[in-house]
Structure 1
Amino acid sequence: MSLSIQFLTMITMVLSGFYLGIVQETFRRLTYYWKRRVFITYFLEISFWLTQTAIILYVLFRVNAGEIRVYVILACLLGFSIYQVLAKSTYKRLLEWMIRITAAVYRFFSNLLHTLIISPISWTVRTLFRLIFWMFTLITTIILFILKIALTPFVWIGKGIYQLIPDGFKKNLHKLAGFYSTMKNICYKGYKKLEKLLFKRG
C-alpha cells in the first residue's frame, strides 16, 4: 500500500471515528423514546452497531480495498476522541435544537391534518349517525303509537280473558312477564347508552 493511500486511509478513519461519535450521540439521545421496550431496545442496539460497522468497513474498502491495520483502528479511535473532546457539547445543543424543530413541525402538520381532514370527517360521520338514529327513533315512535291504538281493543279483550284464567296458569304468565320486563330494561339501557354516545358534546 503506497504512502498516499495510507495517508488517505488515516484521514478517512479519523473522519469515520468523528462520524461514529455523532451517530452514537444521536442514537443515545433517541433511545429515550423506546428505552422502556426491552425487545425493541436490544434489537435497535444490535442493528445500530452492525450497521455502523458495515458502513465503516465499506468506507475502508473503498479507500484501501479493505486492509485493516493497527493504525486504522487507532485513527478511528482518534476521530472518536476528537469528537468527544471538541464537538460533543456543541453537537448536543444542535441535536436538541433539531429535535425541537422536528417536533414542532410534526405537531403543526398533525394539528393541520386533524383540523382539515380528521375533524370534518368525524363531524360528518357523527352527524350522519345522529340523523339516522333520529329517523329510526321517530319511525319507531310512530309505529309504536299506531300499534298502541290498533291493539287497544285487543288489550281490553285480553284483560277480560285474563280474569277467567286459573290462578296456577296466571303464575306462569307472571314469570313470563318478569322475563319480558328484564329484557325490556336491558334493551332500554342499551338504547340510552347509544343515544348518549351519539349525542354527546364534542
Structure 2
Amino acid sequence: MSLTVQLQTMLVMVAMGGWLGMAIDTYSRLIRGRKWKQWITVINDSLFWIIQGLLVFYILLQINEGEMRFYILLALLCGYSCYRALLYRIYQNILEATIQAIIKTYKFCKAALFMLVINPTKGLLKLLYTVCMMILSFLITVIFFLLKVLYTPFIWLGRGIWRLLPKEKLDKFSNKLGFFKKIKNYIMRWFTKKGS
C-alpha cells in the first residue's frame, strides 16, 4: 500500500469515525429513545451495527481493497473523538431542528388535508344525505297521498255496497263466521291438550 493510499485511508476513516458518531446520535434520538420491547431493541441494535460495519468495510474496500490495519481502527476512534469534541452540539441542534421541521411540516400537511379535502368532503356528503332524505320524504308523502286518492273511492264504494246489503244476509254471514271461529277454537284446544 503506497503512502498516498495510506493517507487517503486515514482521512476517510477519520471521516467515517465522525459519520459513526452522527449515526449513533441519530439512531439514539429516533430509535433508542422509544420504548420498545427488549427483543425488538436487540434486533434494532444488531441491524444498526451490522449496517454500519458493512458501510465502513465497503468504504475501506473502495479505498485500499479492504486491508484492515491497526491504524485504521485508531483513525476511526480519532474521527469519533473529534466529532464528540467539536461537532456533537452543532449536530444535535441541526438534528433536533430537522426533526421539528419534519414534524411541523407533517402537522401542517395533515391540517391542510383535513381543511381542504376531508372536512369539505364530509360537509358535501352530509348535504347530499340531507337532500336525499328530503327528496325521499317528499316522494313517500306524494306516494301515500296518491294511494289515498286512489283507494278512497274504493272505500266509499265498499261502504255504499255494505249499506245496500240486507240485514238478514249479513246476520247469517256473521253467524257462519262465528261457527268457523268455534271450530277453530275447538281445534286449537285439542292440539294444546295433545301437546301437554
TM-score (norm 1): 0.64
Indicate the structure (1 or 2) with the bigger Cα radius of gyration. Answer: 2
Give the direction of change, closer, same or farther, for the CA distance of 1:7–1:109 in structure 2 (3 Å limit). Answer: same
Task: Note closer, same or farther for the CA distance 1:86–1:129 as it changes in structure 2 (3 Å cut).
Answer: same
Q: Provide the C-alpha distance between the structure 1 equivalents of 2:3 and 2:55, rounded to a whole number of angstroms.
A: 24
1:45-65: CA deviations, max 9, x gaps?
Answer: 333222222211111111101
- 1:101 shift after superposition: 1.7
Match of 1:29 in 2: 29
Report the counterpart of residue 121 of structure 1 in structure 2.
121
| Runs of at least 5 residues in structure 2 that lack an aligned partner in the other structure | 160-173, 187-196
The 5-angstrom pairing of residues 135-146 of structure 1 reads 135-143=135-143
Structure 1, unpaired ranges of 5+: 170-202
Greater shift, 14-23 or 2-11, is seen at 2-11
**Alpha-carbon spacing, 1:129–1:58, altered in 2? closer, same or farther (3 Å):** same
Tell me which residue corresponds to 2:86: 86
SS of 2:133's equivalent in the other structure is: helix
Instruction: Write the letter of the residue equivalent to 1:99.
Output: I
| 1:47-62 to 2 correspondences below 5 Å | 47-62=47-62
Report what 2:106 is aligned to. Answer: 106
Residue 46 of structure 1: aligned partner: 46
Question: Are the equivalent residues in 2 in contact too, given 1:18–1:83 (CA < 8 A)?
Answer: yes
Distance 1:45 1:59 in 2: 21
What count of residue pairs does the alignment treat as equivalent? 165
- Number of the residue aligned with 1:188: none
2:2 corresponds to: 2
- Structure 2 CA distance for partners of 1:38 and 1:139, relative to 1, 3 Å: farther
Counterpart position of 1:178: none
- TM-aligned CA deviation for residue 43 of structure 1: 4.6
Question: More displaced, 34-43 or 10-19?
Answer: 34-43
Q: 2:32, 2:41 within 8 Å by CA — same for their partners in 1?
A: no
> Are the structure 2 counterparts of residues 83 and 118 from structure 1 closer, same or farther at C-alpha, using a change threshold of 3 Å?
same
What is the SS of the residue equivalent to 2:67?
Answer: coil
- Judging changes above 3 Å, is the alpha-carbon distance between structure 1 residues 33 and 119 closer, same or farther for their aligned structure 2 residues? farther
Q: Is the 8 A contact 1:16 1:79 kept in 2?
A: yes
Distance 1:146 1:108, change over 3 A: same
Contact 2:20 2:52 in 1 (8 A): yes
Q: Residue 13 of structure 1 contacts residue 76 of structure 1 at CA under 8 Å; is this kept in 2?
A: yes
TM-score normalised to the size of structure 2? 0.66
Question: Secondary structure, in 3 states, of the residue corresponding to 1:35?
Answer: coil
Q: Distance in 1 between matches of 2:125 and 2:73?
A: 63
Give CA deviations for 1:109-157 in whole Å, capped at 9, x if unaligned: 2222222222222222232223223333443455456667859x6xx9x
**3-state SS of 2:35 partner:** coil
SS in 1 for 2:66: coil
